[in-house]
Amino acid sequence: MEDCPHPGCGGAVSAAGGAGLCRECREPAGACPSCGAWNRPFAQFCRGCGKRFQFGSADLGSLGVEVLDTLPRDPAALEIPAEFWIAPVSFGGYLWALATDGSLWRVNPARGEVLPLLPLGPGFGRSSFVIQFLSLPGRRNPAPCLVAASPAAVAILNLAEPRAEPLLIAPESGGRFLADLDKDGFAAVAVHQGRVFVLQRRGGALAMVSHQVATGVQERCPLEASDAAGPLVIGNHVWAYNATSLMHVSGANSSLLPLAEGVTPFRSLTDGDGFRFPLGSAVWLTAPDGVYLPARTADRSGFLYLTSVHESLQQHFLALDGGFSYSADSGGRLIVAGGERLAVFEGRNKVAEIPAPSLAPNGAEHIDGQFYAWTCQMGAAIGVRFAFGDRPRNAALPQQLRTWLPKGFLIAGGALVLVVHNQHENNNLGLSVWNLFDV
């Protein structure tokens, strides 16, 4: 089937690496891996063959390197009328943005649509959120769920029914969840094996709370620490951390593991002077076999790479120079831009480094063996292409932006977008989505 799956349309759908965009209604569609039929993003069964279906979002690598060489010089921008601390997350062909007032927005860049959804309420939008398939109570099949936390609750919203009331998880009486970037530092929610994990403070006691979404069974694991950040999911295990220790969580029991000598991981924004934290996620980045956690020693900044080897946690400090922005590509490799160079790490190993003294890049992506870097100079975002081992070459993306805080590139609804934080006069951060290319 090549026709659009959205009701009342029937237009032609063009493909982009397993995801598609209807040229008529400008809505995203997903191709069934079994029969190739196009389906709506949150369909549970294929309308062609009836088999189970989950939407596979396109990533940057699915576009091919030629796309970023043909970007327009006058892209269209969508403004979201709210304040944002956290950049949006791409899922199901849309961008999902959570504002500091708890309002939730669904953005379709290809259609030029910014749609307000059911607000989650005060306190949400001040820490990173995740979107994963979860088994909800009373449901046979996993549903795509947005999981976010506030100090007063964890909200689990079924994105297939975004106007339905979310499932709420409350802290213990007299307790609060650690979910405010300004007050609590780098604490957020994590999802692992159908369970939601979040840090909780009650009086002077700190604990990790885990909630099995399908059954409602909840466990509380006391932590032998006065402060903590996390949770981190490393392999099949969940951890928290502070300035001196890693804390392993297993059911209602925890154990301490000293950090590598002389290494201090970042726990709040004040620790990360000179670091530009990644787009729409927690400050740590998850790789296939571990986690990259920004950290420093007495004289160097860099990343603490944590990996599980035969159920034993290994620690490796990756030293860098200067301030950096960083991201992960679709293969989980760490991409670091800064100090007039670009670098790629696989696990603990640096696999490539390219000097870029004329650019001093603010951020980079790694696609099909190529670097695509961007920088921000005097209000202009400039995309630059770096071939492996070559000198930098322009990638034809100069355009004036009304800001100096670009966050990074995403794919949503068949469109390549640049997400930008707008610095307002009152220092509030607005959000713009620039549609650079329709695939």
The pLDDT, as a whole number, for residue 396 is 37
pLDDT per residue as tens digits for the range 256-294: 999 999 999 988 877 766 666 665 556 888 887 899 999
Long-range contacts of range 216-222, CB-CB < 8 Å, 24 or more positions apart? 216/137, 218/169, 219/251, 219/252, 220/172, 220/252, 221/249, 221/250, 221/251, 221/252, 221/253, 221/254, 222/252, 222/254
Identity at 156, one-letter amino acid code: I
pLDDT per residue as tens digits for the range 158-214: 998 888 899 999 999 999 999 998 899 899 999 999 999 999 999 889 999 999 999
pLDDT per residue as tens digits for the range 104-162: 999 888 788 899 998 999 999 999 999 999 999 988 888 999 999 999 999 999 998 88
Who has greater pLDDT, 336 or 179?
179
Who has greater pLDDT, 66 or 346?
346
* 3-12, 232-241, 345-354: least confidently modelled range: 345-354
The pLDDT, as a whole number, for residue 401 is 43
Q: 3-state DSSP call for residue 279?
A: coil
Residues 213 and 184: beta-carbon distance below 8 Å? no
Mean pLDDT comparison of 295-304, 327-336, 349-358, 391-400, highest-scoring range: 295-304
| Percent of the chain with pLDDT strictly greater than 90 | 37
pLDDT per residue as tens digits for the range 366-407: 666 666 665 554 444 455 545 444 444 443 343 444 444 555
Cα dist from 111 to 13, 158, 206, 435, whole Å: 14, 23, 45, 10
Structure tokens at 78: 């969508």
The 3-state DSSP composition of the chain as helix, strand, coil percent (nearest 5) reads 5, 50, 45
The pLDDT, as a whole number, for residue 374 is 59
Residues 156 and 169: beta-carbon distance below 8 Å? yes
The pLDDT, as a whole number, for residue 428 is 58
Tell me the backbone φ, ψ of residue 260, rounded to 5 degrees.
-55, 140
Who has greater pLDDT, 395 or 229?
229
The pLDDT, as a whole number, for residue 379 is 45
The pLDDT, as a whole number, for residue 53 is 87
Who has greater pLDDT, 355 or 13?
13
Who has greater pLDDT, 18 or 92?
92
Cα 359 to chain centroid distance, Å, stands at 26
Instruction: List the alpha helices (DSSP H) in 194-320.
Output: none
Who has greater pLDDT, 94 or 368?
94
Helix (H) or strand (E) holding 233: strand 229-234
Task: Tell me how far apart the alpha carbons of residues 91 and 30 are, in angstroms, rounded to a whole number.
Answer: 12
Which sequence spans correspond to the domains of the chain?
A: 1-50, 57-438
Q: Is 337 left (phi over 0), alpha (psi -120 to 50) or beta?
A: beta
| pLDDT exceeds cutoff 70 at 22 | yes
Residue 31: pLDDT band with limits 50, 70, 90: confident
Residues 93-110 have a mean pLDDT of 89
CATH assignment of 57-438, given 1.10.15, 3.40.630, 2.130.10, 1.10.260?
2.130.10
In DSSP notation, 86-123 reads S--EEETTEEEEE-TTS-EEEEETTTTEEEE-----TT
Size of the chain in residues: 439
Strands 76-80 and 429-438: antiparallel
The pLDDT, as a whole number, for residue 389 is 44
The pLDDT, as a whole number, for residue 284 is 86
Q: 3-state DSSP call for residue 184?
A: helix
- 231 upstream amide cis, omega within 30 of 0: yes
